[in-house]
Structure 1
Amino acid sequence: MPSRVLAVYDGSGIDGDLYTRVNRWAQSAPHWLDELIKVWSAFGLGLFAVFMVLAWWRARGADSAVMARVLASPVVVVVAYGVNSVFKGAVEEIRPCAQIHGSVALETCPGTGDWSFPSNHSVIAFAAAASLWFVDRRLGWVAGLFAALMAASRVWVGVHYPHDVAAGALVGLLVAVVLTPLAGRCGPLVDRMRAGALRPLLGAGELPLVGHGHSAYRAQQY
């Protein structure tokens, strides 16, 4: 018998009823709504790249630890994706659209070998949102909202069980929570990069406060 961490080949026993209910909603929903969710599910991850670019732009005037976390955010996403791939290979869960009779996928149902658990889309979206939260709380919350919409869309289009997207969200969050604060320790490296040819891209950052009490002020760059 092959050695595995888990061996959940048929996830329908976990929350197949909930998946079937959502799938029926999708089948009876207006065509425009299904198409909108289908497009979001297919291309929405690009929005998180836009969020990262926005975070970089705003971090040019922030301290070097913040910029270090911004620069690390794509790396965090890649690492989370790699960790998720290990789980996929260990579990090998069949897609619900291929497992549950009568289910309908709004996009092509992935074939054998493209396993369902956990959801890659959810991992990427939540890893990106969590890493951005350590940079900009408001941007992180906005990204988190869109991450939840991405996870929900994967169930709506019929290619994932609810537990697939929940597990994907958890993997993304855990990887980001562990790695992003560590990236902030690379501030001294960013300082050196800002002092060189990359300064136009990384910005000058903020200088420490000078003085005390009401007379304190932040030194300005000229």
Structure 2
Amino acid sequence: MWVRQGAELWTEAGLLVFVALFAAAWWRARHDGPRAFAIAALAPLATAGAYVCSELLKSVVTEERRCRAVAGAAASPAACPPHGDWSFPSNHATIAGRSAVALALFAARCCG
């Protein structure tokens, strides 16, 4: 199904958009002084830290994925991940949210 393949591709490729934005922020910050450069350099590390926190929280909460938890639920267009791959908090949402905040802080402090 092309919709499923497109969604799977976007969930992975969409994260690469943040990598490109972090690289662009770093490139821009090279000439904006040490504070701007530090913010641009630390933004990816803060995102990685948020991911680690997400993984730790996920191992504590152990929220089962809906594809296994809801009896009689409609079939998911994607395969259900294996048991132990908990659903909350979402890694993709954590990375996207933290990246957006980091890039917004960079833009507000360096470019605004």
TM-score computed with the length of structure 1 as normaliser: 0.45
**Runs of 4+, deviation exceeding 3 Å:** 31-35
Kept in 1: contact 2:43–2:103 (CA 8 A) = yes
TM-superposed deviation, 1:48: 0.6
Tell me whether 1:132 sits opposite 2:103 in the alignment. yes
Partner residue, 2:94: 123
Could you list the per-position Cα deviations for residues 178-202 of structure 1 after superposition, in whole angstroms to 9, with x for gaps in the alignment? xxxxxxxxxxxxxxxxxxxxxxxxx
Counterpart of 1:70 in structure 2 is 40
2:87 is the alignment partner of 1:113: no
Q: Could you tell me how far apart the structure 2 residues matched to 1:43 and 1:70 are?
A: 21
Is 1:35 equivalent to 2:5 in the alignment? yes
Give the superposition deviation at 1:82.
1.4
Are residues 33 and 130 of structure 1, via their aligned partners in 2, closer, same or farther at CA, if it must alter by over 3 Å? same
Q: Summarize the alignment of residues 1-16 of structure 1 with structure 2, pairs less than 5 Å apart.
A: none
What is the rounded CA distance, in whole Å, between the counterparts of 1:109 and 1:82 in structure 2? 23
1:86 paired to 2:56: yes
The one-letter code sitting in structure 1 at the alignment partner of 2:88 is: F
The equivalent of 1:157 in structure 2 is: none
Gaps in structure 2 of 5+ consecutive residues: none
Between Structure 1 and Structure 2, which shows a larger proportion of helix residues? Answer: 2
2:41 paired with 1:52 = no
Length, aligned pairs only? 107
Contact 2:54 2:89 in 1 (8 A): yes
Identity across the alignment (%): 33
Q: Which structure: larger Rg?
A: 1
Is the contact between residue 81 and residue 123 of structure 1 (CA under 8 Å) also seen in structure 2? yes
How well do the aligned residues superpose, as a CA RMSD in angstroms? 1.6
Q: Which amino acid aligns with 1:108?
A: A
Match of 1:178 in 2: none
Offset at 1:32? 4.1
Secondary structure of the residue aligned to 1:107 is coil
Shift of 1:59: 0.9
CA positional deviation for 1:63: 1.7
CA contact (8 A) 2:4 2:78 kept: no
Q: Partner of 2:78: helix, strand, or coil?
A: coil
Kindly state the Cα deviation for residue 115 of structure 1 after the two structures are TM-superposed: 0.6
Separation of aligned partners in 2, 1:85 and 1:69 = 24
- What is the Cα deviation at residue 107 of structure 1? 2.6
Question: How big is the shift at 1:135?
Answer: 0.9
Contact map agreement 1:97 1:104 (CA 8 A) in 2: yes
Separation of aligned partners in 2, 1:124 and 1:59 = 22
Partner of 1:218: none
